[in-house]
Amino acid sequence: MSHALCVSVTLDKFPEVLGLAEQYDNFYASVGVHPDYENIDEPSVDLLCRLAQHPKVVAIGETGLDYFRLSGDLEWQRNRFRTHIRAAILVGKPLIIHTRNAANDTLRIMQEEGAHQAGGVMHCFTESLEMAKAAIEMGFYISFSGIVTFKNAAQLKEVAQKIPLDKILVETDSPYLAPVPFRGKTNQPAYVKYVAQEIADLRGISLEAVMQATTQNFFNLFKYARIS
């Protein structure tokens, strides 16, 4: 572990996320509002752009769509997603996108809003190979969490095997989704190596090759982060 990106999920907690990034040279932050949070003040494009001007903020998000946890009229969620995409394009910083049970609408909105202009990452990816390829065509990376180490994650393992190595990122999504052999326990950034090892095993390459590629991919995507 040499660098970490602390991801914002609500604006009221953003100062704490930014504080970590300011405290440590190798920590960075994003700014955004997660789609799971209902009945809160909606972020505006102007507000996201203003907060994203901070030099330690390297991305916009976490944003996206989640039709698993919430139901009913979710137009507010889609509008929030559009707001984040527009802000990312304006500030020239990549998106961190969450999608769950919403693949078609996620891709549709990304296309309609021109998300390729910002690029970004499909965070904690759990969808199909077809969706991964569609996102990659729009300039997005695919990020794998501890889920890829689970025995029942056959579809996800196929994605990890078949997409280009130069489009892969690894993450923990701490404190959730600890990889095997820590499944069910509190996750931590150090466990990201188990995600990388699983990808190496699936692709028949060395752990070092995955580590080198995913580290370079991180800096290629998050251009405002410094290599040190």
Pick the CATH number of 122-228 from 3.40.50.620, 3.40.50.970, 3.20.20.140, 1.10.540.10: 3.20.20.140
Residues 33 and 2: beta-carbon distance below 8 Å: no
Residues ≥6 apart with Cβ < 8 Å to 207: 193, 196, 197, 200
Give the domain ranges of the chain: 1-118, 122-228
Q: Is the overall model pTM greater than 0.85, yes or no? A: yes
pLDDT in tens, 36-94: 999 898 999 999 999 999 999 999 999 999 999 888 899 999 999 999 999 999 999 99
Q: For residues 97 and 57, what is the distance between their CA atoms, to the nearest angstrom?
A: 16
Look at residue 89 in the predicted model and tell me its pLDDT.
98
1-118: CATH topology is TIM Barrel (3.20.20)
pLDDT in tens, 132-191: 999 999 999 999 999 999 999 999 999 999 999 999 999 999 999 999 999 999 999 999
Look at residue 71 in the predicted model and tell me its pLDDT.
84
Please say if the pLDDT value at position 228 is more than 60: no
Token match 């501890």: residue?
146
Please say if the pLDDT value at position 29 is more than 90: yes
What average pLDDT does range 96-104 have in this prediction? 97
pLDDT in tens, 32-50: 999 999 989 899 999 999 9
Say whether 122-228 and 1-118 share the same fold.
yes
